[in-house]
Amino acid sequence: MYPHGRSLVKRLAAETFALIGHTSDDTPQFVQEAAKEENLTWRSFFDGGGTGGPIATRWGVRSWPTIYVIDAKGVIRARAVRGEAMDRIVDELLAEAKAEAGTKRRGR
């Protein structure tokens, strides 16, 4: 997951795109060390050191990694996508958001 995340963040650096992580690892220090070691440049939230943390509970996360792709309006548009499938849906949503923004600029 980390290599793909790094490539996605790099490829979409000029886009309105964010990759956000969530972890239930043992301690915040462990998370910080892993982020440094794995060269993770995106924000990642610590969820209390267990699988029953508040973020995992609210989002229904039962296994890791769990991937949600969320559109510009905050709607979950895909779950459990990885690799090329994730790239496709992200690219589609970015194109959709650009088209909608262009329509708004033209006053429609």
Is there a single domain that holds both residue 27 and residue 58? yes
Whether residue 42 sits in one domain with residue 90: no
Q: What is the pLDDT of residues 16-41, one digit of tens each?
A: 899 988 888 778 788 788 889 988 88
Q: Which residues of 63-77 are buried (b: 16+ CB within 10 A; e: fewer)?
A: eeeeeebebeeeeeb
One domain, residues 47 and 75: no
Q: Are residues 75 and 86 in the same domain?
A: yes
Whether residue 104 is predicted with pLDDT greater than 90 in this model: the reply is no
Please report the pLDDT score of residue 46 as a whole number: 84
Q: Which domain holds residue 39?
A: 1-66
What is the percentage of the chain residues whose pLDDT exceeds 90?
36
Examine the domain organization and report whether 52 and 72 are in the same domain: no
Please tell me the total count of domains within the chain: 2
Residue 85: band (very low, low, confident or very high) from pLDDT cuts 50, 70, 90: very high
Given a contact cutoff of 8 angstroms between Cβ atoms, the answer to whether 94 and 87 are in contact is no
Shared domain for 61 and 71, answered yes or no, is: no
